[in-house]
Amino acid sequence: MAAIIQSEIDAQVVTVPLDSRRNVLAFTSDICAFVVGTYFIPSTTVLVGLASQLTTDKALIGTVGMTWSVSWFLPQLIAARIVHGKERQKPYLMIPSLIGRNAFLLIALWLIVTRAQAPILTVWVLIAGLCVFNICDALAGVAWFDMMSRTLSARMRSRAVSTGQLVASLLGIGVGLVVEQILAPGGLPFPQNYAVIFGCAWVCMAVSLLLIGFMREIPMTQAAQAEAADTDFIASLRAAWSADPLFRRVLVMRALTGLELMAASFYLVFAKEQLGLSDAATGIFNIALIIGGVAGVALFGWLGDRFTSLSVIRAAAVMQFCAPLVALLFALLHAAHVVSSAQAGVILAGFFAVFVLRGAIEHSLVLGALGYLLDASPERHRAMYVGAFNTLSGIVAMSPLLAGVWIDGLSARGQPLAAYVVLFMIVIVSVGVGLIVSLKLPKLKR
């Protein structure tokens, strides 16, 4: 088995499928609607902000922050096993999406009906709703990536993703302003403000689901389907790990750089609790995320189209290194009494930059590491490679829970600032090593 996979990797012929205008438009529009929906509820601002309004338990807040990523990434290997070798992927895209996306509507209705009078229960309802959405979207996502790779060439895929994300980011500026006004002190009362935000996210997801229906699928070739049916999924995964050094290196790089999320889940909490920023900063940082998304999509789209997905990987790794570095700088300056809550403008500007970087980073995955892996993987193992990559990302995404326990532990001993300093330093070292690994990844043929 290992020899077969190695021979496929060494002798793989890159083919360019026929690009359909209908599919390019459908994929681009779907990406646009879906991303606009996520702009209403980014995990590092709105979701964490809602959780912090309901509880002061850092571990529980960290759980909310990580749920968005973990519940999407972890089921990916199971999702890949389900869709592995299937001739058509569209049913595995449509049905789970129809189920999962209504979770946002249920969260909005819960907030309106109960008015969050049971705050801890509301936190768990939020977590459950996010899990339902993301578990269903995990199955749909594997099928979506496989469909897109079979339908569009690498260059057209890059253009469709970058165009969809760029248009969504431009629209997202308006979304950020709306969310900022809703959450401002003079906006809607709590928790109706968050209910409206979740309702808007649900509308965008419903539009995205409608657009998915216009995609025209190119079925898997009979040869690839027969080969996939004749092989054991787990045995194939083990063989790929042992035979494909590029696959291993991409996974190691993702694990190291992905730990930046451990710090990202607490940038807002750190700025509010340690540096004295008000709740209004949540809306401002949401705008920063969107501005960063616009800049990131433009940069990554240009890099992916002009060069390759490898350049996107390296640019994103540099950003993942810089974001916690800026946060660490403010933590050290605060410890040295150089900055304080009286200098809110300086703190706001610094963390505005941090969230701009976060906004860009969040748009790097498809154009970067996933795009690189899609181009490097054999057709019959593509779903397996994506599932393994995303499952590893889910394991890494559980790190905010560990960070929350760590912060709570040192805060109980009267050293909350030291907890953040150590956290940011660990993340910086990890991402730095991941950046070095990314520099050793080989370039792929167009």
Question: Considering the domain boundaries, does residue 375 fall inside one?
Answer: yes
**What distance in Å separates the CA atoms of residue 321 and residue 302, rounded to the nearest whole number?**
21
Average pLDDT over residues 182-202: 89
Confidence at residue 353, expressed as pLDDT on a 0 to 100 scale: 93
Task: State what percent of residues in the chain have pLDDT above 70.
Answer: 89
**What distance in Å separates the CA atoms of residue 127 and residue 134, rounded to the nearest whole number?**
11
Task: Report the candidate in 119, 353, 373, 117 with the shortest Cα–Cα distance to residue 240.
Answer: 373
Confidence at residue 124, expressed as pLDDT on a 0 to 100 scale: 93
Confidence at residue 14, expressed as pLDDT on a 0 to 100 scale: 39
**What distance in Å separates the CA atoms of residue 86 and residue 64, rounded to the nearest whole number?**
34
DSSP string, 301-363: HHHHHHS-HHHHHHHHHHHHHHHHHHHHHHHHHHHTTSS-GGGHHHHHHHHHHHHHHHHHHTT
Confidence at residue 84, expressed as pLDDT on a 0 to 100 scale: 66
Confidence at residue 149, expressed as pLDDT on a 0 to 100 scale: 74
Average pLDDT over residues 370-378: 79
202, two tokens:
């649900």
DSSP string, 76-120: HHHHHHHHTT-S--HHHHHHHHHHHTTHHHHHHHHHHHHTTSSHH
Least confident segment among 4-8, 208-212, 218-222, 269-273: 4-8
Domain extent at residue 382: 21-439
pTM above 0.75, yes or no: no
**What distance in Å separates the CA atoms of residue 421 and residue 406, rounded to the nearest whole number?**
11
Average pLDDT over residues 280-294: 82
pLDDT band at 220 (very low <50, low <70, confident <90, very high): low
184, two tokens:
């401002």
pLDDT at 8 over 50: no
Arithmetic mean of pLDDT over the chain: 82
Average pLDDT over residues 13-18: 41
54, two tokens:
């309901």
pLDDT tens-place string over residues 17-58: 444 677 788 888 888 999 899 889 888 778 888 888 898 887
Confidence at residue 223, expressed as pLDDT on a 0 to 100 scale: 61
pLDDT at 230 over 50: yes
Confidence at residue 94, expressed as pLDDT on a 0 to 100 scale: 85
pLDDT band at 198 (very low <50, low <70, confident <90, very high): very high
Confidence at residue 429, expressed as pLDDT on a 0 to 100 scale: 96
pLDDT at 348 over 70: yes
SS3 content of the chain, % helix, strand, coil (to 5): 80, 0, 20
Question: Considering the domain boundaries, does residue 11 fall inside one?
Answer: no
What CATH number does the domain containing 349 carry? 1.20.1250.20
Question: Considering the domain boundaries, does residue 68 fall inside one?
Answer: yes
Confidence at residue 7, expressed as pLDDT on a 0 to 100 scale: 46
- Cis link prior to 191 (omega < 30° from 0)? yes
**What distance in Å separates the CA atoms of residue 81 and residue 252, rounded to the nearest whole number?**
22
**What distance in Å separates the CA atoms of residue 261 and residue 269, rounded to the nearest whole number?**
14
**What distance in Å separates the CA atoms of residue 91 and residue 151, rounded to the nearest whole number?**
16
Question: Considering the domain boundaries, does residue 10 fall inside one?
Answer: no
Number of Cβ within 10 Å of residue 278's Cβ equals 12
pLDDT tens-place string over residues 169-181: 788 888 888 888 8
**Any idea what DSSP says for residue 275?**
S
Question: Considering the domain boundaries, does residue 33 fall inside one?
Answer: yes
pLDDT tens-place string over residues 97-120: 889 999 999 999 999 999 888 889
pLDDT at 377 over 80: no
Confidence at residue 228, expressed as pLDDT on a 0 to 100 scale: 56
User: What is the chain's alpha carbon radius of gyration, rounded to the nearest angstrom?
Assistant: 21
pLDDT tens-place string over residues 300-332: 888 877 888 889 999 999 999 999 999 999 999
311, two tokens:
């350049």
Average pLDDT over residues 335-353: 80
Question: Considering the domain boundaries, does residue 114 fall inside one?
Answer: yes
Average pLDDT over residues 333-355: 82
The total domain count for the chain is: 1
pLDDT at 386 over 90: no
**What distance in Å separates the CA atoms of residue 288 and residue 112, rounded to the nearest whole number?**
28
* CA 163 vs CA 29, 159, 297, 398: distances in Å: 9, 6, 8, 31
Question: Considering the domain boundaries, does residue 3 fall inside one?
Answer: no
Least confident segment among 78-87, 182-191, 242-251, 389-398: 78-87
pLDDT tens-place string over residues 128-159: 999 999 889 888 888 887 777 777 776 777 77
pLDDT band at 365 (very low <50, low <70, confident <90, very high): confident
Question: Considering the domain boundaries, does residue 5 fall inside one?
Answer: no
